[in-house]
């Protein structure tokens, strides 16, 4: 198959649909791979590396879209990209169509077959192309949260893991799935006081076996959530809502601001 | 040296000053050991085992005291034992003289040289013969405390380690020395939510390094102790007070009773 | 639905079928909940808490049984309760009918639909309402066992976890299911020398992965069990026998008594 | 003694020399404590809390300096504060005089006795008032470093702990003292690939015992440092240089910029 | 059923098809067991132990084959054993027929029903009789590899786990199944720097959860394998190839020899 | 200072007194370093690496000895080396003189100042140049022991770590110092059933804190050692006897042979 990988053009997107290691595997399996010049430069990959892996470098996106039977990307196609797609061509990328009518219409109009990474499901119901995103989001949520607790970033100046003799921050993670578990791993690793809330006792048991008494687990009821969230320094929302994106984080400071309409005030 | 080991006669004392392994070491070093018949029977050691180790079995305490240059016991001498001690003889046992004037006078009168296990100090100031007692007391305090939390024993029916989805008991340990650390080890092992309070930040750091985030450490101030003890399900007093004995434990139920003007009742 | 929760009347039963958090969830889902006055007082829950959660307090059991379409309890209905059940009503509680003909007849006669917690099965064959009981039973078996090994409770005076330089107690757990695994967690946490015996090598592998070399696993043969049980200080019977209740524990002392022709006496 | 605690006035300093728990201890020991109104407001402590702990609130810094025999602060005195100090008064705070001639002269001129937290030494040579700062600095260095590696903050977009299947960031910590060990604890906890470099083999052994094979230790030679730093994604400088402040961090991106005089370029 | 267990006759095979514990289970289930005299002597089991378990000892292999309806062995039947098998008899042992035409023909000719341990599959597709072999092979691969790295055995003199201050050996394990996971357990336990490569991200995630950051996981691509294998000190091949036997190990020294056609030469 | 590093000439010694990283440090400190050509070739270090580090390569040992004020080696000087030493020269290497009168006389005759690595003591009494050897010896003792237990090397065919369902080997380590602790680390890591015996309860407590319940500790008495050694599959002798070399290992098989009057044969 002829596979094309254009440079991403969405703002702040530095990633690329195929890295050289992936190109090499595809070429070894008999495919032809076309990569747009400088496609990987945002993450430090030069054209040479793609050539060494067996790709053909093409000068611009247009050339890549024209040559490819399947286009592999990261982000949803921008309108200028939709315009280059054609009947019979396959587009393989994240789409998140739910909130993006313009894109949906553009794809329909192009006549291409668009496969969204986030909807590819394995036989056991898991979402193999979404899971790595949840892992990254879960792990990052804690380091972003730790930063948000710093005074310099508008937080209460609470150090996530405390130090000996000083209580660590209380982190409450709502949802013990992929994102929640990865968040818990980071938060425990940094020494926080972590509670995971989930509606499945079975899942809480697995988490109990994995983390031992470095975390606490709580069965999800309105009462539990209310009590825990009010006491928490950092709340990670890691419940999978179909179509929603990364975990949300809320610090005590944000709650305080919301409650008081502006002023903070912590012990 | 001629070493004698009588059977303990204090109520509920089943231990014995020398076990056969100890006898064998002493005999190998050239000492003569006299053991009272049935001295070890309370912990399942028969006369034969002592004989095999090289001891001579004597029929009664009197014979042992008469034969020995040094008497090795467990508990402080009872008045009948004081009466058998003599000038020039060495007594090696726990004494806890502070609150026991009668015993002190008995010993003085006997003219013997009495060495109390609990006051033997190593060069670095540690108390090598008290440490094992503190280890046992610290470890036992948690299993006794877990039992005291059971409904059937007058507690609130809190399971020390909780189960997945249910919060474990909050255990507060006052003092991070030998007894406190051993108590923490048991409490953490059983899955409790453990906080250790100490006046030494240096010690809290060592505990933090040893236990990681399976415990929390708190610097001892009046405020900290008040806040923690009020929230605790089980409080272990493990501060070394010279002359005092084992760790104390207090359950939330006892506090509740005291608050309500009822009598606490349990030891 | 109208849901009723009477006060438990079986001797030594302090629990209650619904706690306020549960009431709140049911009310939020549109149900009406009737709770007998003082139903939760045995575990420290006052009527106010139920009212705050949305329940209606009724003065006695009769009023609760009369108002409810479904009665939620903890223990099997006593004869006076059976007499209050009626045709078309649902009873949801533990039943353990196998050994209780009188109760079975009472239920049949009442015409109610009785659902036993212990027989509710999930699709994968697990018993979600029995599992928490097995967790509690498994965890408690070790703290009860530790107490039973104390001299003061008729044991040999063996400290479950030993202390540095002294061997810990040997604990043999027959069955590596929910109860056995929870027992192992406690026993390992307290520092005992733990062996788990199971007929499933697959389960032994999972336990090996979970516990690493803090336990030993043994494949169940007559020979293995004989050898291990004879050497053990504490044996936990955690094999699921349909209809049987909590894990059984046997200490070395009980065996010794039985061997010597004495009666074992303790449960 | 009369002890005064003024509000900190240095830019971005929200901390306060005494919290209410400290005031309570001092008052219980018979001291009189004067706190400037709103001194703790930057970290959410209201005047009421100080009053409850036994302090007297004074309206401004001048009143506090005038009333106090000892002034307790956080940061070095600003020139306006130096002017309020007097002969015979004690100042207890961080000074960091080495690079601050103006402050040194101000203190000398005031005639006060100034004790710098950072120079208070325990008998064993450790610096008990500097250690907590090193703990905080070491722990924060990793969360700041993790943030610095994010693309949005100018980094290469490397996730500190990686995810399954993707290599974690390589963190090299120069110095295995208090700051370095605390940094290592955070970095290991977040799943990074951590190497600690130290000139003391004895210290490397202790770190090896504490961290097991979740870190690697390297003996400090020019060759080792060169090799490790070049391969690292994040370098933490945690060597105690007398008079220097917090650990330094350097990301690969910064090195790349330095090497290339401007442009970066990592995959 | 009449079950026979002859002595193994293949060179260097000391094991035996049935140990006394197994005999006892079979006898308890109503079977008759015939064991060849001295069958277990290679691993220290005397005839007496078999007799005590309920077996009948027969003087030679011929007698065992003649008496048995099912013959239980360890290794594939040697030609002299094939000749003793008969129509209707069951043979239960490892066969590994793929590369052994002579044996296959011998079995066919005998008319027996031969069941190969290595092909017995459970319902979930796992191979319960092959798994223990993979466990042993995986665990042994590391101890054999550690030995192969010793200078005295032709290696580069690299100590698998290093010592504090010195880098441990880099171990790359290709395949994260039963053998690979068991190899990783040993390698991590010995302090090596371990990377597991697998084609299944799901499996890498499970390994990440089990081992935390004591290992690194890498997704299997040609590029990854090339890079890792070249840097490795020890490579364990643990990919299940149907019909193939134990994990393969390759040390850096062997690679060096292969590359240079004879001479070695490491850092 | 002029420092010389000749090639080792003792049979089976491949190491070298200085590696290039060491040379670089010495040169940076202002010393001159002379290395014999090919001195590092046994462990893969070419002359070029030494030159790059600042050393001067000399053609033979004679030239190195003649140029150097201090000679740095690994093993004790052989007679031909003793003959090259001279008055006023310093020799820095392992000597182990106790059992080597010829060497002692050679050194005396040469008039050089010989400093033995193994006798260099730090202020706290530790032996910094012996410790790394003890670490290596302790770690290797277990991998050599694991090999010795293999059937192919004359052992009983016991796998050190067992597999799930099969008991691991019992390893008894006599002495909990540097070598013993490193041996324990390896043995625990490989899944063995490890007991450490020591005469110091203080040391046993430290080991208990470090290893938790992955090991057992036993106080050293004749009785304890007898009981443990008889049951052990592998015994590691790690008691520091001044002047003695590496830990000794004894497998059960060797004991069996000795008991049966056979010769033990293996080192």
Write out pLDDT tens, residues E163-198: 888 889 999 999 999 999 999 999 999 999 999 999
The pLDDT tens digits of the residues spanning B121-163 come to 888 888 888 888 899 999 999 999 999 999 888 888 899 988 8
Among residues A41, A7, A133, A27, the alpha carbon closest in space to that of E223 is found at A27
Give the pLDDT band of residue D249 (cuts 50, 70, 90).
Answer: low
Question: Contact E43/F160, CB-based, under 8 Å?
Answer: no
Question: Contact C25/A201, CB-based, under 8 Å?
Answer: no
Give the pLDDT band of residue C241 (cuts 50, 70, 90).
Answer: low
Give the pLDDT band of residue A246 (cuts 50, 70, 90).
Answer: very low
Count of C-beta atoms within a 10 Å radius of residue A123? 5
Average pLDDT over residues A228-237: 94
Question: Contact F128/D222, CB-based, under 8 Å?
Answer: no
For residues D146 and D142, what is the distance between their CA atoms, to the nearest angstrom? 6
Read off the tokens for C74.
């903890």
Q: Is the pLDDT of residue A212 over 80?
A: yes
Pairing of strands E70-72, E90-93: parallel
Predicted local confidence at residue E240, as pLDDT: 72
Read off the tokens for C247.
């894990």
For residues B151 and B157, what is the distance between their CA atoms, to the nearest angstrom? 4
Q: Is the pLDDT of residue E49 over 90?
A: yes
* D204, closest residue in chain E (CA to CA): E164
Predicted local confidence at residue B262, as pLDDT: 35
Q: Are A157 and D43 in contact (CB under 8 A)?
A: yes
Give the pLDDT band of residue D177 (cuts 50, 70, 90).
Answer: very high
Give the least confident one: B202-206, E223-227, E250-254, F205-209.
E250-254
Predicted local confidence at residue C263, as pLDDT: 32
Helix (H) or strand (E) holding A178: helix A178-189
Q: Residue D159: list chain A partners with CB under 8 A.
A: 136, 139-140
Contacts of A213 (CB under 8 A, 6+ apart): B161, B168, B188, B191, B192, B193, B214
Best of F221, F225, F226, F227 to substitute, by most chain B Cβ atoms within 10 angstroms, is F221
Among candidates F201, F221, F223 on the partner chain, residue whose Cβ is nearest the Cβ of B128 = F201
* D211, closest residue in chain E (CA to CA): E214
Count of all residues that appear for chain F in the document: 267
Question: Contact D218/E191, CB-based, under 8 Å?
Answer: no
Count of C-beta atoms within a 10 Å radius of residue B91? 23
Among residues A151, A149, A160, A138, the alpha carbon closest in space to that of A237 is found at A138
Predicted local confidence at residue C252, as pLDDT: 63
**Which residues of F make CB contacts under 8 Å with E?**
12, 14, 43-46, 132, 135-136, 139-140, 143-144, 146-147, 150-152, 156-157, 159-161, 163-165, 182, 185-186, 188-191
Residue B23 vs residue E247, higher pLDDT: B23
Edge-to-edge, what's the strand order for the sheet holding A234-237? A215-219, A193-198, A170-174, A234-237, A248-251
Q: Is the pLDDT of residue A265 over 60?
A: no
Shortest distance, CA E222 to any CA of chain A (angstroms): 7
Give the least confident one: F61-65, F124-128, F227-231.
F124-128
DSSP H helices, B149-244, are 178-189, 201-211, 222-231
Q: Are B105 and B111 in contact (CB under 8 A)?
A: no
Question: Contact D224/F24, CB-based, under 8 Å?
Answer: no
Among candidates D165, D188, D219 on the partner chain, residue whose Cβ is nearest the Cβ of E213 = D188
Among candidates C12, C150, C190 on the partner chain, residue whose Cβ is nearest the Cβ of B189 = C190
**Cα Rg of chain D (Å, integer):** 22
Predicted local confidence at residue C253, as pLDDT: 61
What is the overall mean pLDDT for chain D?
Answer: 88
The pLDDT tens digits of the residues spanning F178-237 come to 999 999 999 999 999 999 999 999 999 999 988 988 999 999 999 999 999 999 999 999
For residues F127 and F123, what is the distance between their CA atoms, to the nearest angstrom? 9
**Cα Rg of chain E (Å, integer):** 22
Q: Are B201 and B214 in contact (CB under 8 A)?
A: no
Give the pLDDT band of residue F126 (cuts 50, 70, 90).
Answer: confident
Predicted local confidence at residue C153, as pLDDT: 86
Among candidates A164, A204, A219 on the partner chain, residue whose Cβ is nearest the Cβ of B204 = A164
Average pLDDT over residues A83-101: 92
Predicted local confidence at residue A184, as pLDDT: 96
Would the CA dihedral through E225, E228, E231, E232 be positive or negative? negative
Give the least confident one: A45-59, A252-266, D6-20, E35-49.
A252-266
Question: Contact E165/D219, CB-based, under 8 Å?
Answer: yes
For residues E162 and E159, what is the distance between their CA atoms, to the nearest angstrom? 5
* A218, closest residue in chain B (CA to CA): B165
- Give the Å distances, CA to CA, from E191 to E161, F176, F191: 4, 19, 13
Tell me how far apart the terminal alpha carbons of chain C are, to the nearest angstrom: 42
Predicted local confidence at residue A245, as pLDDT: 47
Question: Given a contact as 3+ CB pairs under 8 Å, which chains touch A?
Answer: B, C, D, E
Question: Contact D20/B209, CB-based, under 8 Å?
Answer: no
Among residues B227, B171, B176, the alpha carbon closest in space to that of B197 is found at B176
Angle between helices D131-148 and A131-148 (to 10 degrees): 140
Residue E99 vs residue D92, higher pLDDT: D92
Burial class, F185, CB count within 10 angstroms (exposed 0-12 / middle 13-18 / buried 19+): buried
Question: Contact B43/C156, CB-based, under 8 Å?
Answer: yes
Phi, psi at residue E90, to the nearest 5°? -105, 135
Average pLDDT over residues B77-102: 92
Q: Residue B205: list chain D partners with CB under 8 A.
A: 131, 135
Pairing of strands F248-251, F234-237: antiparallel
Among candidates C21, C126, C128 on the partner chain, residue whose Cβ is nearest the Cβ of A224 = C21
Q: Are A151 and A213 in contact (CB under 8 A)?
A: no
For residues A160 and A143, what is the distance between their CA atoms, to the nearest angstrom? 9
Q: Are F134 and F165 in contact (CB under 8 A)?
A: no
* A202, closest residue in chain C (CA to CA): C128
Among residues E112, E81, E75, E80, the alpha carbon closest in space to that of E97 is found at E75
Shortest distance, CA E228 to any CA of chain A (angstroms): 14
Tell me how far apart the terminal alpha carbons of chain E are, to the nearest angstrom: 63
Strand partners, D56: D34
Q: Following CA atoms A218, A219, A222, A226 in sequence, which dihedral angle do they give, to the nearest 10 degrees?
A: 0
Q: How much of chain C exceeds pLDDT 70, in percent?
A: 90
Residue C255 vs residue C236, higher pLDDT: C236
Give the least confident one: A68-77, A116-125, C140-149, D87-96.
A116-125
Shortest distance, CA C226 to any CA of chain F (angstroms): 15
Kindly tell me the number of DSSP H helices and DSSP E strands found in chain B.
Answer: 10, 11
Q: Could you please report the per-residue DSSP string of chain D?
A: -EEEEPPP-STT----S--HHHHHHHHHTT-EEEEETTTTGGGT--HHHHHHHTPEEESSHHHHHHH-SEEE-SSPPPHHHHTT--TT-EEEE---GGG-HHHHHHHHHHT-EEEEGGG---TTS--TTTHHHHHHHHHHHHHHHHHHTSGGGTS----TT-BTTBPPPEEEEE--SHHHHHHHHHHHHTT-EEEEEES-HHHHHHHHHHHGGGEEEEE--HHHHHHHHHH-SEEEE----TT--SPEEEEHHHHHHHHHTS-----
CA E159 to the chain's CA centroid: 25
Average pLDDT over residues B13-37: 95
For residues A53 and A21, what is the distance between their CA atoms, to the nearest angstrom? 7
Q: How much of chain A exceeds pLDDT 70, in percent?
A: 90
Predicted local confidence at residue E248, as pLDDT: 57
Predicted local confidence at residue B124, as pLDDT: 82
For residues F143 and F139, what is the distance between their CA atoms, to the nearest angstrom? 7
Instruction: Report which DSSP code applies to C149.
Output: T
**Which residues of C make CB contacts under 8 Å with F?**
161-162, 164-168, 188, 191-193, 201, 204-205, 207-208, 212-214, 216-219
Q: Are F127 and E14 in contact (CB under 8 A)?
A: no
For residues C224 and C221, what is the distance between their CA atoms, to the nearest angstrom? 5
Q: Tell me how many residue pairs between chain E and chain F have CB atoms under 8 A apart.
A: 85
Shortest distance, CA B228 to any CA of chain A (angstroms): 12
Pairing of strands B90-93, F70-72: unpaired
Among residues C255, C192, C201, C248, the alpha carbon closest in space to that of C224 is found at C201
Q: Following CA atoms E204, E210, E211, E215 in sequence, which dihedral angle do they give, to the nearest 10 degrees?
A: 0
Predicted local confidence at residue C86, as pLDDT: 96
The pLDDT tens digits of the residues spanning E105-151 come to 999 999 999 999 988 988 888 888 888 889 999 999 999 999 999 98
Q: Residue C209: list chain E partners with CB under 8 A.
A: 210
For residues D185 and D194, what is the distance between their CA atoms, to the nearest angstrom? 10
Give the pLDDT band of residue E265 (cuts 50, 70, 90).
Answer: very low
Question: Contact D201/F24, CB-based, under 8 Å?
Answer: no
Predicted local confidence at residue C33, as pLDDT: 97
Average pLDDT over residues D142-165: 89
Q: Residue E221: list chain A partners with CB under 8 A.
A: 21-22, 24-25
What is the overall mean pLDDT for chain E?
Answer: 88
Q: Is residue F242 helix, strand or coil?
A: coil
Please give the model's pTM, rounded to 2 decimal places.
Answer: 0.86
Read off the tokens for C221.
């043969």
The pLDDT tens digits of the residues spanning C158-211 come to 999 888 888 899 999 999 999 999 999 999 999 999 999 999 999 999 999 889
Tally of CA atoms within 13 A in the half-sphere of C124 that contains its CB: 3
Question: Contact F143/E146, CB-based, under 8 Å?
Answer: yes
Read off the tokens for A178.
């992929």
What is the overall mean pLDDT for chain F?
Answer: 88
Read off the tokens for F255.
């004991």
Shortest distance, CA F192 to any CA of chain B (angstroms): 22
For residues D69 and D224, what is the distance between their CA atoms, to the nearest angstrom? 52
Q: Is the pLDDT of residue F258 over 70?
A: no
Among candidates A164, A212, A214 on the partner chain, residue whose Cβ is nearest the Cβ of B208 = A164
Predicted local confidence at residue D247, as pLDDT: 54
Question: Contact B221/D128, CB-based, under 8 Å?
Answer: no
Q: Is residue B32 helix, strand or coil?
A: strand
The pLDDT tens digits of the residues spanning D20-40 come to 999 999 999 999 999 999 999
For residues E250 and B67, what is the distance between their CA atoms, to the nearest angstrom? 71
Block residue for tokens 């340990």:
B173
Edge-to-edge, what's the strand order for the sheet holding D56-58? D56-58, D32-36, D2-5, D70-72, D90-93, D113-116
Give the pLDDT band of residue E100 (cuts 50, 70, 90).
Answer: confident
- Give the Å distances, CA to CA, from C92 to A37, C32, C85, C113: 68, 16, 12, 9
Q: Is the pLDDT of residue A257 over 90?
A: no
């Amino acid at each position: 198959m002829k596979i094309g990988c254009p440079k991403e053009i969405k703002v702040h997107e530095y990633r690329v649909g195929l890295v050289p290691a992936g190109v090499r595997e595809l070429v070894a399996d008999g495919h032809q791979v076309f990569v747009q010049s400088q496609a990987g430069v945002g993450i430090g990959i030069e054209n040479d590396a793609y050539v060494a892996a067996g790709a053909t470098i093409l000068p611009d996106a247009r050339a890549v879209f024209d040559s490819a039977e399947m286009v592999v990307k990261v982000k949803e196609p921008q309108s200028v990209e939709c315009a280059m797609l054609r009947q019979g061509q396959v587009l393989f990328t994240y789409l998140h169509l739910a909130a993006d009518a313009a894109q949906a219409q553009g794809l329909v109009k192009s006549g291409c077959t668009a496969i969204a990474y986030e909807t590819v499901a394995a036989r056991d119901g898991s979402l193999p192309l979404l899971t790595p995103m949840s892992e990254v989001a879960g792990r990052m949520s804690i380091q972003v949260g730790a930063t948000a607790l710093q005074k310099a970033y508008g937080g209460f100046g609470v150090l996530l893991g405390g130090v000996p003799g000083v209580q660590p921050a209380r982190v409450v993670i709502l949802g013990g799935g992929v994102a929640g578990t990865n968040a818990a791993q980071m938060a425990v690793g940094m020494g926080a006081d972590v509670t995971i809330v989930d509606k499945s006792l079975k899942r809480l048991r697995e988490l109990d076996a994995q983390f031992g008494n470095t975390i606490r687990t709580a069965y999800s009821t309105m009462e539990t959530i209310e009590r825990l969230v009010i006491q928490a320094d950092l709340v990670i929302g890691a419940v999978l809502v179909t179509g929603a994106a990364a975990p949300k984080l809320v610090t005590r400071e944000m709650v305080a601001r919301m409650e008081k309409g502006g002023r903070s005030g912590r012990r």
